[in-house]
Structure 1
Amino acid sequence: MEGPRLPPSAAAHESDDDKPDDPPSVWHRPTSSLPSLPFQDPPPHHWRNHSLDFSSIPTTPLSSLAPPDSIPELETYVVQVPRDQVYWTPPPDHAKYVEKRRKNPEKNKKSGCSKRLMWFLIILIAFGFILGAITLVLHFAFNPALPVFAIEKFSFVPSNFEVTLKAENPTSNMGVSYMMRKNGVVSLTYKDKSLGRGKFPRLSQVAMGSDKISLKLNGSTKNAAMPPSGSKLPLSLVLKIELKAEYEAGPVKKNKEAAVTCDVKVKGLLDAKKVEIVSENCESEFKN
Protein backbone atom coordinates (compact mmCIF):
# COMPACT_ATOMS: atom_id res chain seq x y z
CA MET A 1 0.00 0.00 0.00
CA GLU A 2 1.41 3.38 -1.01
CA GLY A 3 1.64 6.33 1.34
CA PRO A 4 0.65 9.95 0.56
CA ARG A 5 2.13 11.38 -2.52
CA LEU A 6 4.38 14.44 -2.10
CA PRO A 7 4.11 17.53 -4.25
CA PRO A 8 6.29 17.64 -7.29
CA SER A 9 8.43 20.50 -5.90
CA ALA A 10 9.19 18.58 -2.76
CA ALA A 11 10.12 15.50 -4.67
CA ALA A 12 12.35 17.51 -6.88
CA HIS A 13 14.11 18.99 -3.89
CA GLU A 14 14.62 15.59 -2.34
CA SER A 15 16.08 14.32 -5.53
CA ASP A 16 18.43 17.22 -5.74
CA ASP A 17 19.58 16.88 -2.15
CA ASP A 18 20.39 13.24 -2.66
CA LYS A 19 23.19 14.30 -4.96
CA PRO A 20 26.18 14.87 -2.74
CA ASP A 21 28.35 16.33 -5.48
CA ASP A 22 26.02 19.21 -6.41
CA PRO A 23 27.17 22.64 -5.12
CA PRO A 24 24.92 24.54 -2.75
CA SER A 25 22.48 27.05 -4.18
CA VAL A 26 23.80 30.48 -4.86
CA TRP A 27 21.26 32.32 -2.73
CA HIS A 28 22.13 30.37 0.44
CA ARG A 29 24.12 32.39 2.96
CA PRO A 30 26.77 30.70 5.07
CA THR A 31 25.71 30.21 8.61
CA SER A 32 28.97 31.59 9.92
CA SER A 33 28.13 35.08 8.54
CA LEU A 34 24.75 35.23 10.22
CA PRO A 35 24.55 37.05 13.55
CA SER A 36 24.18 34.94 16.61
CA LEU A 37 20.56 34.47 17.37
CA PRO A 38 19.17 34.25 20.87
CA PHE A 39 18.48 30.77 22.18
CA GLN A 40 15.04 29.53 21.42
CA ASP A 41 13.19 26.34 20.91
CA PRO A 42 13.67 24.67 17.59
CA PRO A 43 11.04 25.56 15.05
CA PRO A 44 8.26 23.12 14.44
CA HIS A 45 8.78 20.52 11.83
CA HIS A 46 7.82 21.74 8.43
CA TRP A 47 7.02 19.61 5.56
CA ARG A 48 9.61 21.61 3.54
CA ASN A 49 12.76 20.62 5.32
CA HIS A 50 15.11 22.79 3.31
CA SER A 51 13.14 26.08 3.36
CA LEU A 52 14.20 28.93 5.66
CA ASP A 53 11.57 30.50 7.86
CA PHE A 54 12.58 33.86 9.41
CA SER A 55 9.15 34.73 10.64
CA SER A 56 9.94 33.42 14.10
CA ILE A 57 13.21 35.39 14.44
CA PRO A 58 12.63 38.43 16.66
CA THR A 59 13.43 41.73 15.07
CA THR A 60 15.97 43.79 16.99
CA PRO A 61 15.65 47.59 16.59
CA LEU A 62 18.58 49.31 14.91
CA SER A 63 18.92 51.83 17.70
CA SER A 64 19.83 49.06 20.18
CA LEU A 65 22.67 47.79 18.05
CA ALA A 66 26.13 49.13 18.77
CA PRO A 67 27.08 51.77 16.17
CA PRO A 68 30.18 51.07 14.15
CA ASP A 69 33.29 53.07 14.80
CA SER A 70 32.80 56.58 13.34
CA ILE A 71 35.14 57.41 10.53
CA PRO A 72 36.07 61.13 10.41
CA GLU A 73 35.06 62.82 7.23
CA LEU A 74 37.74 64.76 5.42
CA GLU A 75 36.66 68.08 3.91
CA THR A 76 38.39 69.40 0.88
CA TYR A 77 38.47 73.11 -0.04
CA VAL A 78 39.53 74.55 -3.35
CA VAL A 79 40.90 78.13 -3.19
CA GLN A 80 41.59 79.97 -6.39
CA VAL A 81 43.95 82.91 -6.04
CA PRO A 82 44.59 85.27 -8.96
CA ARG A 83 48.17 85.39 -10.00
CA ASP A 84 48.31 89.20 -10.04
CA GLN A 85 47.32 89.54 -6.34
CA VAL A 86 49.79 89.56 -3.51
CA TYR A 87 48.56 88.85 0.01
CA TRP A 88 50.54 90.15 2.91
CA THR A 89 50.12 89.96 6.64
CA PRO A 90 49.94 93.33 8.45
CA PRO A 91 52.35 93.89 11.30
CA PRO A 92 51.17 92.94 14.82
CA ASP A 93 50.99 96.60 15.83
CA HIS A 94 48.11 97.09 13.43
CA ALA A 95 46.15 94.25 15.00
CA LYS A 96 46.71 95.73 18.47
CA TYR A 97 45.50 99.12 17.27
CA VAL A 98 42.34 97.62 15.74
CA GLU A 99 41.63 95.62 18.90
CA LYS A 100 42.08 98.73 21.02
CA ARG A 101 39.62 100.64 18.88
CA ARG A 102 37.09 97.84 19.15
CA LYS A 103 37.29 97.80 22.95
CA ASN A 104 36.82 101.58 23.31
CA PRO A 105 34.33 102.75 20.61
CA GLU A 106 33.14 105.81 22.57
CA LYS A 107 36.68 106.94 23.21
CA ASN A 108 37.47 106.50 19.53
CA LYS A 109 34.49 108.68 18.58
CA LYS A 110 35.54 111.41 20.99
CA SER A 111 39.14 111.29 19.83
CA GLY A 112 37.97 111.43 16.19
CA CYS A 113 35.82 114.54 16.88
CA SER A 114 38.63 116.23 18.79
CA LYS A 115 41.06 115.53 15.97
CA ARG A 116 38.67 116.98 13.39
CA LEU A 117 38.13 120.07 15.54
CA MET A 118 41.87 120.47 16.00
CA TRP A 119 42.48 120.23 12.24
CA PHE A 120 39.67 122.74 11.61
CA LEU A 121 41.25 125.22 14.03
CA ILE A 122 44.66 124.70 12.46
CA ILE A 123 43.27 125.34 8.97
CA LEU A 124 41.36 128.41 10.23
CA ILE A 125 44.48 129.85 11.88
CA ALA A 126 46.56 129.16 8.77
CA PHE A 127 43.92 130.83 6.58
CA GLY A 128 43.83 133.87 8.88
CA PHE A 129 47.63 134.07 8.84
CA ILE A 130 47.71 133.94 5.04
CA LEU A 131 44.95 136.56 4.78
CA GLY A 132 46.76 138.83 7.22
CA ALA A 133 50.02 138.47 5.31
CA ILE A 134 48.28 139.33 2.03
CA THR A 135 46.61 142.37 3.62
CA LEU A 136 49.91 143.55 5.06
CA VAL A 137 51.65 143.19 1.72
CA LEU A 138 48.86 145.06 -0.07
CA HIS A 139 48.95 147.79 2.56
CA PHE A 140 52.62 148.50 2.02
CA ALA A 141 52.61 147.86 -1.71
CA PHE A 142 49.51 149.98 -2.42
CA ASN A 143 49.75 152.83 0.06
CA PRO A 144 48.22 156.09 -1.22
CA ALA A 145 50.31 159.22 -0.82
CA LEU A 146 48.91 162.60 0.14
CA PRO A 147 47.82 164.73 -2.81
CA VAL A 148 49.84 167.84 -3.58
CA PHE A 149 48.14 171.16 -4.43
CA ALA A 150 49.53 174.55 -5.31
CA ILE A 151 47.89 177.89 -6.19
CA GLU A 152 49.13 179.18 -9.53
CA LYS A 153 46.67 182.02 -10.25
CA PHE A 154 44.32 184.19 -8.20
CA SER A 155 41.87 186.77 -9.54
CA PHE A 156 38.85 188.73 -8.39
CA VAL A 157 35.95 190.12 -10.35
CA PRO A 158 32.78 191.58 -8.82
CA SER A 159 31.06 188.89 -6.74
CA ASN A 160 33.45 186.11 -7.90
CA PHE A 161 36.86 184.77 -6.98
CA GLU A 162 38.74 182.57 -9.43
CA VAL A 163 41.53 180.33 -8.22
CA THR A 164 43.65 178.11 -10.47
CA LEU A 165 45.16 175.07 -8.72
CA LYS A 166 47.77 172.57 -9.79
CA ALA A 167 46.99 169.07 -8.48
CA GLU A 168 49.50 166.23 -8.42
CA ASN A 169 49.10 162.53 -7.55
CA PRO A 170 52.40 161.34 -6.04
CA THR A 171 51.22 157.70 -5.71
CA SER A 172 53.32 155.65 -8.12
CA ASN A 173 51.06 152.61 -8.54
CA MET A 174 47.50 153.88 -8.01
CA GLY A 175 45.22 156.24 -9.86
CA VAL A 176 42.94 158.62 -7.96
CA SER A 177 39.62 160.41 -8.43
CA TYR A 178 38.77 163.58 -6.45
CA MET A 179 35.22 164.71 -5.71
CA MET A 180 33.39 166.80 -3.17
CA ARG A 181 32.91 165.10 0.19
CA LYS A 182 29.35 164.85 1.48
CA ASN A 183 28.47 168.16 3.13
CA GLY A 184 31.93 169.35 2.05
CA VAL A 185 32.70 172.86 0.93
CA VAL A 186 35.38 175.00 -0.71
CA SER A 187 35.76 178.27 1.20
CA LEU A 188 37.92 181.39 1.09
CA THR A 189 38.30 183.38 4.30
CA TYR A 190 40.07 186.50 5.56
CA LYS A 191 40.65 186.68 9.32
CA ASP A 192 37.99 183.99 9.83
CA LYS A 193 35.49 185.98 7.78
CA SER A 194 34.03 184.29 4.71
CA LEU A 195 34.82 185.90 1.35
CA GLY A 196 33.50 183.19 -1.01
CA ARG A 197 32.22 179.64 -1.27
CA GLY A 198 32.11 177.15 -4.11
CA LYS A 199 32.41 173.52 -5.24
CA PHE A 200 35.28 171.34 -6.35
CA PRO A 201 34.70 169.71 -9.76
CA ARG A 202 35.38 166.01 -10.20
CA LEU A 203 38.99 165.26 -11.16
CA SER A 204 40.60 161.93 -12.13
CA GLN A 205 44.34 161.41 -12.27
CA VAL A 206 46.59 158.55 -13.23
CA ALA A 207 49.51 157.43 -11.09
CA MET A 208 52.12 160.21 -10.85
CA GLY A 209 49.72 162.44 -12.81
CA SER A 210 49.55 166.27 -12.74
CA ASP A 211 46.60 168.47 -13.79
CA LYS A 212 45.29 172.00 -13.42
CA ILE A 213 41.83 172.85 -12.16
CA SER A 214 39.92 176.09 -11.89
CA LEU A 215 37.71 176.97 -8.92
CA LYS A 216 34.97 179.61 -8.96
CA LEU A 217 33.85 180.99 -5.61
CA ASN A 218 30.78 183.21 -5.21
CA GLY A 219 31.22 186.06 -2.71
CA SER A 220 32.45 189.62 -2.06
CA THR A 221 34.70 191.62 0.21
CA LYS A 222 31.93 193.71 1.81
CA ASN A 223 31.40 191.48 4.82
CA ALA A 224 35.08 191.44 5.81
CA ALA A 225 37.02 194.26 7.41
CA MET A 226 39.44 194.82 4.54
CA PRO A 227 42.29 197.34 4.64
CA PRO A 228 41.69 200.67 2.87
CA SER A 229 42.02 200.84 -0.87
CA GLY A 230 45.53 201.61 -2.10
CA SER A 231 47.20 199.74 0.73
CA LYS A 232 50.32 197.93 -0.39
CA LEU A 233 50.22 195.47 2.46
CA PRO A 234 49.58 191.91 1.32
CA LEU A 235 46.37 190.21 2.35
CA SER A 236 46.60 186.83 4.04
CA LEU A 237 43.81 184.56 2.78
CA VAL A 238 42.98 180.93 3.62
CA LEU A 239 41.55 178.50 1.07
CA LYS A 240 40.02 175.28 2.49
CA ILE A 241 38.98 172.28 0.42
CA GLU A 242 37.27 169.12 1.72
CA LEU A 243 37.57 166.20 -0.71
CA LYS A 244 36.89 162.49 -1.08
CA ALA A 245 39.74 160.64 -2.79
CA GLU A 246 39.18 157.19 -4.34
CA TYR A 247 42.41 155.31 -5.10
CA GLU A 248 42.34 152.28 -7.39
CA ALA A 249 44.84 149.76 -8.77
CA GLY A 250 43.12 146.80 -10.45
CA PRO A 251 41.10 144.93 -7.81
CA VAL A 252 42.63 147.00 -4.99
CA LYS A 253 40.54 150.00 -3.98
CA LYS A 254 40.98 152.44 -1.13
CA ASN A 255 38.83 155.41 -0.15
CA LYS A 256 40.26 158.38 1.68
CA GLU A 257 38.94 161.69 2.95
CA ALA A 258 41.37 164.53 2.38
CA ALA A 259 41.44 168.07 3.73
CA VAL A 260 43.50 170.70 1.89
CA THR A 261 44.43 174.04 3.50
CA CYS A 262 46.21 176.72 1.47
CA ASP A 263 47.66 179.89 3.04
CA VAL A 264 48.14 182.55 0.37
CA LYS A 265 49.24 186.18 0.48
CA VAL A 266 48.17 188.47 -2.38
CA LYS A 267 48.51 192.11 -3.43
CA GLY A 268 46.22 194.26 -5.59
CA LEU A 269 43.04 192.44 -4.62
CA LEU A 270 41.13 195.66 -3.73
CA ASP A 271 42.35 197.73 -6.72
CA ALA A 272 40.64 195.42 -9.23
CA LYS A 273 43.94 195.02 -10.98
CA LYS A 274 46.01 191.98 -11.63
CA VAL A 275 46.38 190.17 -8.34
CA GLU A 276 49.92 189.30 -7.43
CA ILE A 277 50.61 186.14 -5.38
CA VAL A 278 53.27 186.97 -2.82
CA SER A 279 53.43 183.52 -1.22
CA GLU A 280 51.39 180.38 -1.04
CA ASN A 281 51.58 177.12 0.85
CA CYS A 282 49.12 174.20 0.62
CA GLU A 283 49.06 171.29 3.03
CA SER A 284 47.05 168.09 2.73
CA GLU A 285 46.06 165.44 5.25
CA PHE A 286 43.94 162.30 5.34
CA LYS A 287 41.05 162.24 7.79
CA ASN A 288 40.87 158.40 7.87
Structure 2
Amino acid sequence: MAEWVPPTASASRPPLPQPPPDLPTKPLSEPEPPFRSETYIVQVPKEQIYRIPPPENAYLAEQYKNNLNRRRKSPCLTYLPWLLAVIAAVGITIAIVALVFYLVVRPSVPEVSIEAFAAKNLNHNSRWEKPKYDISMKTLNPSANMGYIYGSGGKASMSHKGVVIASGEPPRFDQPSHNETAFHLVLRGSSNKLPKEIQRSLKGPKEIVTLSLSVNYVVRLKIGVIELSKSMSIQCDFRVSKFAKGTKIVSQECSVELGQ
Protein backbone atom coordinates (compact mmCIF):
# COMPACT_ATOMS: atom_id res chain seq x y z
CA MET A 1 0.00 0.00 0.00
CA ALA A 2 1.31 3.32 -1.08
CA GLU A 3 1.92 6.14 1.36
CA TRP A 4 -0.01 9.50 0.92
CA VAL A 5 2.17 12.54 0.69
CA PRO A 6 0.59 16.02 1.34
CA PRO A 7 0.99 18.69 -1.37
CA THR A 8 3.70 21.27 -0.91
CA ALA A 9 3.20 24.99 -0.93
CA SER A 10 4.94 25.40 -4.27
CA ALA A 11 2.64 22.99 -5.93
CA SER A 12 -0.56 24.72 -4.78
CA ARG A 13 0.44 28.32 -5.92
CA PRO A 14 0.26 29.51 -9.59
CA PRO A 15 3.48 30.46 -11.23
CA LEU A 16 4.57 34.09 -10.93
CA PRO A 17 4.58 36.21 -14.14
CA GLN A 18 7.86 36.95 -15.78
CA PRO A 19 9.15 40.49 -15.28
CA PRO A 20 8.99 42.80 -18.38
CA PRO A 21 12.10 43.37 -20.28
CA ASP A 22 14.09 46.36 -19.25
CA LEU A 23 13.32 49.56 -21.32
CA PRO A 24 16.21 51.46 -22.60
CA THR A 25 16.84 54.50 -20.48
CA LYS A 26 18.55 57.69 -21.51
CA PRO A 27 21.51 58.67 -19.63
CA LEU A 28 20.84 61.52 -17.26
CA SER A 29 23.79 63.40 -18.48
CA GLU A 30 22.64 63.55 -22.21
CA PRO A 31 21.01 67.03 -23.07
CA GLU A 32 17.63 67.37 -24.82
CA PRO A 33 17.66 68.37 -28.48
CA PRO A 34 16.87 72.11 -29.13
CA PHE A 35 13.33 73.28 -30.37
CA ARG A 36 13.09 73.79 -34.10
CA SER A 37 10.32 75.87 -35.79
CA GLU A 38 8.86 74.37 -38.86
CA THR A 39 6.61 75.75 -41.62
CA TYR A 40 3.50 73.94 -42.66
CA ILE A 41 1.52 74.67 -45.84
CA VAL A 42 -2.24 74.20 -45.44
CA GLN A 43 -4.38 74.25 -48.56
CA VAL A 44 -7.92 75.63 -48.04
CA PRO A 45 -10.62 75.61 -50.72
CA LYS A 46 -11.06 78.98 -52.43
CA GLU A 47 -14.73 79.32 -51.43
CA GLN A 48 -13.80 79.08 -47.76
CA ILE A 49 -11.26 81.96 -47.81
CA TYR A 50 -12.46 84.95 -45.71
CA ARG A 51 -10.90 88.37 -46.29
CA ILE A 52 -10.24 90.67 -43.35
CA PRO A 53 -11.07 94.38 -44.11
CA PRO A 54 -8.32 96.94 -43.58
CA PRO A 55 -8.34 98.93 -40.31
CA GLU A 56 -9.45 102.19 -42.00
CA ASN A 57 -12.71 100.53 -43.07
CA ALA A 58 -13.56 99.89 -39.45
CA TYR A 59 -12.88 103.57 -38.64
CA LEU A 60 -15.13 104.76 -41.48
CA ALA A 61 -17.88 102.38 -40.41
CA GLU A 62 -17.67 103.71 -36.86
CA GLN A 63 -17.85 107.32 -38.08
CA TYR A 64 -20.88 106.54 -40.24
CA LYS A 65 -22.58 104.87 -37.29
CA ASN A 66 -21.94 107.89 -35.05
CA ASN A 67 -23.24 110.33 -37.67
CA LEU A 68 -26.35 108.22 -38.15
CA ASN A 69 -26.97 108.23 -34.41
CA ARG A 70 -26.57 111.99 -34.26
CA ARG A 71 -29.08 112.44 -37.06
CA ARG A 72 -31.56 110.27 -35.29
CA LYS A 73 -31.11 112.12 -32.03
CA SER A 74 -31.30 115.68 -33.53
CA PRO A 75 -34.92 116.94 -33.80
CA CYS A 76 -33.91 119.72 -36.18
CA LEU A 77 -32.86 117.24 -38.83
CA THR A 78 -36.15 115.45 -38.42
CA TYR A 79 -38.22 118.57 -39.17
CA LEU A 80 -35.83 120.06 -41.73
CA PRO A 81 -37.57 118.55 -44.80
CA TRP A 82 -40.93 119.86 -43.57
CA LEU A 83 -39.45 123.31 -42.99
CA LEU A 84 -37.95 123.40 -46.47
CA ALA A 85 -41.27 122.32 -47.94
CA VAL A 86 -43.11 125.13 -46.11
CA ILE A 87 -40.57 127.72 -47.27
CA ALA A 88 -40.86 126.51 -50.86
CA ALA A 89 -44.68 126.67 -50.68
CA VAL A 90 -44.58 130.23 -49.31
CA GLY A 91 -42.11 131.30 -52.00
CA ILE A 92 -44.27 129.83 -54.77
CA THR A 93 -47.36 131.56 -53.33
CA ILE A 94 -45.62 134.94 -53.21
CA ALA A 95 -44.39 134.51 -56.78
CA ILE A 96 -47.92 133.69 -58.00
CA VAL A 97 -49.40 136.70 -56.17
CA ALA A 98 -46.72 139.00 -57.61
CA LEU A 99 -47.35 137.66 -61.12
CA VAL A 100 -51.12 138.15 -60.82
CA PHE A 101 -50.57 141.67 -59.42
CA TYR A 102 -48.32 142.59 -62.33
CA LEU A 103 -50.70 141.19 -64.95
CA VAL A 104 -53.73 142.95 -63.44
CA VAL A 105 -52.24 146.28 -62.35
CA ARG A 106 -49.34 146.57 -64.80
CA PRO A 107 -47.58 149.29 -62.73
CA SER A 108 -45.39 151.73 -64.63
CA VAL A 109 -43.75 155.09 -63.96
CA PRO A 110 -45.25 158.13 -65.70
CA GLU A 111 -43.79 159.52 -68.92
CA VAL A 112 -43.03 163.26 -68.71
CA SER A 113 -42.22 165.81 -71.43
CA ILE A 114 -41.89 169.60 -71.76
CA GLU A 115 -44.44 171.12 -74.11
CA ALA A 116 -43.63 174.82 -73.95
CA PHE A 117 -41.18 177.23 -72.33
CA ALA A 118 -41.59 180.99 -71.82
CA ALA A 119 -39.37 183.51 -70.03
CA LYS A 120 -40.57 186.89 -68.70
CA ASN A 121 -39.04 189.93 -66.98
CA LEU A 122 -35.68 189.40 -68.61
CA ASN A 123 -34.64 193.05 -68.41
CA HIS A 124 -31.41 192.47 -66.55
CA ASN A 125 -31.06 196.21 -65.90
CA SER A 126 -34.09 196.17 -63.58
CA ARG A 127 -33.29 195.92 -59.90
CA TRP A 128 -36.83 195.20 -58.77
CA GLU A 129 -38.19 192.52 -61.05
CA LYS A 130 -36.64 189.06 -61.25
CA PRO A 131 -37.06 186.74 -64.23
CA LYS A 132 -40.03 184.41 -64.28
CA TYR A 133 -40.25 181.17 -66.24
CA ASP A 134 -43.47 179.46 -67.26
CA ILE A 135 -42.99 175.82 -68.22
CA SER A 136 -45.82 173.72 -69.64
CA MET A 137 -45.42 169.99 -69.03
CA LYS A 138 -47.34 166.83 -69.82
CA THR A 139 -47.36 163.51 -67.99
CA LEU A 140 -48.78 160.19 -69.17
CA ASN A 141 -49.70 157.36 -66.79
CA PRO A 142 -49.48 154.07 -68.73
CA SER A 143 -50.48 151.86 -65.77
CA ALA A 144 -53.56 149.68 -66.26
CA ASN A 145 -55.11 149.93 -62.77
CA MET A 146 -52.84 152.21 -60.75
CA GLY A 147 -53.24 155.98 -60.34
CA TYR A 148 -50.93 158.69 -59.03
CA ILE A 149 -51.75 161.46 -56.56
CA TYR A 150 -49.15 164.24 -56.77
CA GLY A 151 -49.10 165.89 -53.37
CA SER A 152 -48.39 169.49 -52.47
CA GLY A 153 -45.15 170.66 -50.92
CA GLY A 154 -42.90 169.53 -53.74
CA LYS A 155 -39.85 171.39 -55.03
CA ALA A 156 -38.82 172.43 -58.54
CA SER A 157 -35.67 174.13 -59.74
CA MET A 158 -34.02 175.07 -63.04
CA SER A 159 -30.27 175.33 -63.45
CA HIS A 160 -27.81 176.41 -66.12
CA LYS A 161 -24.42 174.65 -66.15
CA GLY A 162 -24.94 173.43 -62.60
CA VAL A 163 -26.00 176.82 -61.20
CA VAL A 164 -29.61 177.21 -60.03
CA ILE A 165 -31.19 180.21 -61.72
CA ALA A 166 -34.87 179.71 -60.72
CA SER A 167 -37.02 177.71 -58.30
CA GLY A 168 -40.65 177.20 -57.34
CA GLU A 169 -43.28 174.77 -56.09
CA PRO A 170 -44.97 172.27 -58.45
CA PRO A 171 -48.78 172.05 -58.41
CA ARG A 172 -50.84 169.31 -56.81
CA PHE A 173 -53.02 167.10 -59.06
CA ASP A 174 -54.43 163.59 -59.42
CA GLN A 175 -53.78 161.31 -62.36
CA PRO A 176 -55.75 158.08 -62.84
CA SER A 177 -54.58 155.15 -64.92
CA HIS A 178 -54.36 155.51 -68.71
CA ASN A 179 -54.54 159.28 -68.30
CA GLU A 180 -52.62 162.16 -69.83
CA THR A 181 -52.43 165.31 -67.68
CA ALA A 182 -50.94 168.75 -68.44
CA PHE A 183 -49.63 171.00 -65.67
CA HIS A 184 -47.66 174.25 -65.40
CA LEU A 185 -44.57 175.16 -63.45
CA VAL A 186 -43.99 178.76 -62.50
CA LEU A 187 -40.39 179.38 -61.47
CA ARG A 188 -38.96 182.65 -60.27
CA GLY A 189 -35.36 183.64 -60.82
CA SER A 190 -33.00 183.59 -57.88
CA SER A 191 -31.19 186.68 -59.20
CA ASN A 192 -31.98 189.51 -61.60
CA LYS A 193 -28.62 188.97 -63.26
CA LEU A 194 -28.86 186.49 -66.10
CA PRO A 195 -26.03 184.16 -67.19
CA LYS A 196 -23.97 185.38 -70.15
CA GLU A 197 -25.31 182.77 -72.57
CA ILE A 198 -28.89 183.82 -71.80
CA GLN A 199 -27.96 187.47 -72.29
CA ARG A 200 -26.45 186.65 -75.67
CA SER A 201 -29.59 184.67 -76.57
CA LEU A 202 -31.65 187.80 -75.98
CA LYS A 203 -29.69 189.56 -78.71
CA GLY A 204 -29.38 186.82 -81.28
CA PRO A 205 -31.94 184.08 -82.16
CA LYS A 206 -29.22 181.60 -83.10
CA GLU A 207 -27.87 181.26 -79.58
CA ILE A 208 -28.77 177.87 -77.99
CA VAL A 209 -29.14 177.72 -74.20
CA THR A 210 -28.82 174.46 -72.28
CA LEU A 211 -31.01 174.10 -69.18
CA SER A 212 -31.79 171.42 -66.62
CA LEU A 213 -35.12 171.04 -64.80
CA SER A 214 -35.54 169.05 -61.57
CA VAL A 215 -38.94 168.36 -59.96
CA ASN A 216 -39.37 166.39 -56.72
CA TYR A 217 -42.78 165.16 -55.58
CA VAL A 218 -44.25 163.06 -52.80
CA VAL A 219 -46.82 160.90 -54.61
CA ARG A 220 -49.30 158.27 -53.49
CA LEU A 221 -49.79 155.19 -55.61
CA LYS A 222 -53.48 154.30 -55.64
CA ILE A 223 -54.52 150.71 -56.36
CA GLY A 224 -58.23 150.37 -55.66
CA VAL A 225 -58.62 151.37 -52.01
CA ILE A 226 -54.92 150.81 -51.25
CA GLU A 227 -52.54 153.79 -51.24
CA LEU A 228 -48.75 153.67 -50.98
CA SER A 229 -46.59 156.74 -50.43
CA LYS A 230 -43.50 157.13 -52.61
CA SER A 231 -41.04 159.85 -53.56
CA MET A 232 -40.81 160.81 -57.23
CA SER A 233 -37.96 162.58 -59.00
CA ILE A 234 -38.41 164.13 -62.47
CA GLN A 235 -35.29 165.19 -64.34
CA CYS A 236 -35.34 166.95 -67.73
CA ASP A 237 -32.33 168.19 -69.70
CA PHE A 238 -33.37 170.43 -72.60
CA ARG A 239 -32.09 173.09 -74.99
CA VAL A 240 -33.96 176.18 -76.13
CA SER A 241 -33.44 178.95 -78.72
CA LYS A 242 -34.83 182.51 -78.99
CA PHE A 243 -34.85 182.95 -75.26
CA ALA A 244 -36.68 186.28 -75.37
CA LYS A 245 -39.77 185.73 -77.53
CA GLY A 246 -41.06 182.71 -79.39
CA THR A 247 -38.78 180.34 -77.50
CA LYS A 248 -38.43 176.96 -79.14
CA ILE A 249 -37.42 173.69 -77.51
CA VAL A 250 -34.62 172.25 -79.65
CA SER A 251 -34.17 168.95 -77.77
CA GLN A 252 -35.11 167.35 -74.48
CA GLU A 253 -34.58 164.18 -72.46
CA CYS A 254 -36.70 163.47 -69.38
CA SER A 255 -36.57 160.62 -66.86
CA VAL A 256 -38.76 159.66 -63.88
CA GLU A 257 -37.67 157.63 -60.85
CA LEU A 258 -39.67 156.33 -57.90
CA GLY A 259 -37.94 156.12 -54.53
CA GLN A 260 -38.93 154.91 -51.08
- TM-score normalised by the chain length of structure 1: 0.50
Q: Secondary structure at the residue paired with 1:177? A: strand
Structure 2 match to 1:206? 176
Distance in 2 between the 1:198 and 1:256 partners?
21
Select which of 99, 122, 147 maps to 2:110: 147
Structure 2 match to 1:235? 209
Distance in 2 between the 1:124 and 1:279 partners?
55
Q: Residue deviations 1:159-199, cap 9 Å, x none?
A: 31100101111111111111257xx5201111111111011
Larger relative CO (CA 8 A, sep 6+): 1 or 2? 2
Distance in 2 between the 1:187 and 1:194 partners?
7
Distance in 2 between the 1:283 and 1:242 partners?
12
Q: Does 1:173 align with 2:145?
A: yes
Q: Residue deviations 1:6-40, cap 9 Å, x none?
A: xxxxxxxxxxxxxxxxxxxxxxxxxxxxxxxxxxx
| Structure 1 residues 286 and 127: CA distance shift in structure 2, 3 A | closer
Q: Residue deviations 1:94-153, cap 9 Å, x none?
A: xxxxxxxxxxxxxxxxxxxxxxx99x9799766786466435532554342111111111
Structure 1 match to 2:10? none
Q: Secondary structure at the residue paired with 1:137? A: helix
Instruction: Note the C-alpha offset of 1:224.
Output: 2.9
Distance in 1 between the 2:84 and 2:210 partners?
63
**When the two structures are aligned, how many residues end up with a matched partner?**
174
Q: Secondary structure at the residue paired with 1:201? A: coil
Q: Secondary structure at the residue paired with 1:274? A: coil
Structure 2 match to 1:249? 223
| Structure 1 residues 214 and 151: CA distance shift in structure 2, 3 A | same
Structure 2 unaligned segments of length 5 or more: list them.
1-78, 122-129
Q: Which amino acid aligns with 1:148?
A: E
Deviates more, 1:142-151 or 1:205-214: 142-151
Structure 1 unaligned segments of length 5 or more: list them.
1-116
Select which of 185, 192, 195 maps to 1:215: 185
Instruction: Note the C-alpha offset of 1:223.
Output: 5.2
Distance in 2 between the 1:214 and 1:205 partners?
15
| Structure 1 residues 128 and 253: CA distance shift in structure 2, 3 A | farther
Name the one with the larger strand percent.
Answer: 2
Q: Which amino acid aligns with 2:136?
A: T
Q: Does 1:280 align with 2:231?
A: no
Structure 2 match to 1:28? none
Is this contact kept in 1: 2:104–2:144, CA < 8 A?
Answer: no
- TM-score normalised by the chain length of structure 2: 0.55
Distance in 2 between the 1:252 and 1:204 partners?
15
Q: CA RMSD in A?
A: 3.4
Structure 2 match to 1:263? 237
Same amino acid, percent of matched pairs = 26
